[in-house]
């Protein structure tokens, strides 16, 4: 049996290289949306962590008291600075990074993959993706990501609320890994999924307001305005940020109360009914202005960074 000639061998090698490159490209296209999502979330969180710290304090101050005088965001910020200096505004930043590395990575990645599925199906039917399909992709991506990333949420809230306790009772967590390890040892592994129900609902509400409205707004602005691509992205991000805050704040409030620890509530329903009875229904929207200031810029930064990275690395895709 004769050996293959040089040209035949080169053809086999070239074919193998082509198959390898195609496989790597396929894997890269599947992984890139997750990497882009996590990276853009980390950038946004680093910029806005002080606002999130103030938001958490506002949600915890006055707990159980309906007639308590509302604390302003500036007063809450001063309290944090008085307790630990300006660096106190970045308490829990390691947990916030872990949250973005898990939750943001998964939610934007899942959203991209789900939306790609709906887009392929819509193209086969000779139509465009509709708002209902964008909503389904955002709800599914947010809920699934939040369920998996809940321990990072618990660690973040514990680290941010630790400074409210008397000095002798503070846990003084060194990092998010220290917090998660100590919580699991002292309260059990399931404590890391404390408040998971409102966390998942909040994530679904946030994703619905953020990703579905961003995707739809951008599509509508492209159809009905002459804005440049950059201006469309910025405008759609602002619209998405407002709706994300509006839909998700009540669930974010419940999540914060449940995840601070201490066993004050039996569950999400007990927490919701007691807050409504003892503090009033408007308490669920306490700190709305601060929340908008936190989530709207976070949405804008996250989606603009993600949109620009996708334009470079995945030019055939869209958010």
- Give pLDDT tens digits for 225-252: 999 888 888 898 889 888 888 888 999 8
Count of domains for the chain: 1
In the predicted model, what is the mean pLDDT of residues 109-123? Answer: 91
Higher pLDDT, 27 or 45: 45
N-term to C-term CA, the chain: 55
Radius of gyration of the CA atoms of the chain, in A: 23
Spatial neighbors of 221 by CB under 8 A, at least 6 apart, are 227, 232, 235, 236
**Distance in angstroms (rounded) separating the CA atoms of residues 231 and 64:** 45
Asked whether residue 250 is domain-assigned, the answer is yes
pLDDT of residue 225: 92
| Global confidence as pTM | 0.66
Q: Do the domain assignments include residue 319?
A: no
User: Which residues are CB-neighbours of 155 under 8 A, at least 6 positions away?
Assistant: 92, 95, 98, 173, 176, 179, 180, 183, 192
Is residue 1 included in any domain, yes or no?
no
The whole-number pLDDT of residue 191 equals 92
Q: Identify the band that residue 126 occupies on the pLDDT scale cut at 50, 70 and 90.
A: very high
Q: Is residue 66 part of a domain?
A: yes
C-beta separation of 274 from 232 below 8 A = no
Alpha carbon 145 to its chain's center? 9
List of residues 6+ apart from 299 with CB closer than 8 A: 44, 210, 214, 237, 238, 240, 241, 244
Question: Of 178, 173, 154, which Cα lies nearest the Cα of 91?
Answer: 173
Write the CATH number for 28: 1.50.40.10
pLDDT band of residue 4 (cuts 50, 70, 90) is low
Pairwise CA distance, residues 300 & 296, whole Å: 6
260-273: burial string, b at 16+ Cβ within 10 Å, e else: bbeeebeebeebbe
User: Contact 298/243 with Cβ under 8 angstroms?
Assistant: no
Domain-embedded: residue 108: yes
- How far apart CA 319 and CA 306 sit, in angstroms, is 8
Q: Is the pLDDT of residue 88 over 70?
A: yes
φ/ψ (deg, to 5) at 277: -75, -45
pLDDT, tens only, 14-34 = 655 555 555 445 555 667 777
What integer best gives the mean pLDDT of the chain?
83
Q: List for the chain the helix, strand, coil content (%; round to 5).
A: 80, 0, 20
- Percent of the chain topping pLDDT 90: 22
% pLDDT > 70, the chain: 86
pLDDT tens for 153-201 read: 899 889 888 888 888 889 999 889 999 999 999 999 999 998 888 889 8
Confidence of residue 151 (pLDDT cuts 50, 70, 90): very high
pLDDT at 146 over 60: yes
Does residue 174 belong to any structural domain of this protein? Answer: yes
Is residue 41 in a domain?
yes
Q: Which of 72, 76, 38, 37 is nearest to 57 (CA)?
A: 76
Q: How many CB atoms lie within 10 A of CB 110?
A: 23
pLDDT given for residue 272 in this prediction: 92
pLDDT top residue among 24 and 144: 144
Domain that holds residue 142: 6-313
Q: What is the pLDDT of residue 24?
A: 47
Predicted local confidence at residue 30, as pLDDT: 67
Whether 3 shows a pLDDT value over 60: the answer reads: no
* Residue 152 structure tokens: 């990072």
Transcribe 126-185 into DSSP letters. TSPPPHHHHHHHHHHHHHHHHHHHHHHHHHHHHHHHGGGS-GGG----SSHHHHHHHHHH
Residue 318 lies in a domain: no
Give the pLDDT band of residue 120 (cuts 50, 70, 90).
Answer: very high
Least confident of 23-27, 121-125, 259-263: 23-27
């Amino acid at each position: 049996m004769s050996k293959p000639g040089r040209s035949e061998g080169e053809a086999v090698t070239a074919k193998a290289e082509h198959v390898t490159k195609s496989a790597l490209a396929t894997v890269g296209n599947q992984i890139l949306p997750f990497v882009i999502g996590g990276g853009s979330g980390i950038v946004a969180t680093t910029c806005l962590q002080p606002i999130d710290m103030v938001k958490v304090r506002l949600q915890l101050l006055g707990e159980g008291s309906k007639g308590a005088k509302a604390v302003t965001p500036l007063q809450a910020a001063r309290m944090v600075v008085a307790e630990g200096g300006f660096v106190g505004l970045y308490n829990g930043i390691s947990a916030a990074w872990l949250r973005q590395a898990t939750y943001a990575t998964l939610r934007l990645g899942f959203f991209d993959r789900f939306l790609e599925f709906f887009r392929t199906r819509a193209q086969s039917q000779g139509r465009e993706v509709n708002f209902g399909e964008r909503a389904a992709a955002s709800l599914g991506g947010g809920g699934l990501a939040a369920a998996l990333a809940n321990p990072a949420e618990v660690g973040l809230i514990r680290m941010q609320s630790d400074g409210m306790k008397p000095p002798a009772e503070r846990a003084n967590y060194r990092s998010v890994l220290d917090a998660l390890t100590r919580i699991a040892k002292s309260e059990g592994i399931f404590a890391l999924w404390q408040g998971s129900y409102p966390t998942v609902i909040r994530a679904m509400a946030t994703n619905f307001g953020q990703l579905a409205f961003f995707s739809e707004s951008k599509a509508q602005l492209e159809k009905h305005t002459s804005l440049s691509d950059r201006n469309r992205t910025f405008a759609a991000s602002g619209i998405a940020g407002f709706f994300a805050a509006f839909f998700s704040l009540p669930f974010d409030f419940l999540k914060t109360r449940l995840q601070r620890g201490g066993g004050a509530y039996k569950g999400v329903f007990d927490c919701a009914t007691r807050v409504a009875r003892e503090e009033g229904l408007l308490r669920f929207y306490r700190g709305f202005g601060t929340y908008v200031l936190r989530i709207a810029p976070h949405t804008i930064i996250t989606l603009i960074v993600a949109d620009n990275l996708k334009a470079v690395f995945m030019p055939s895709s869209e958010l």
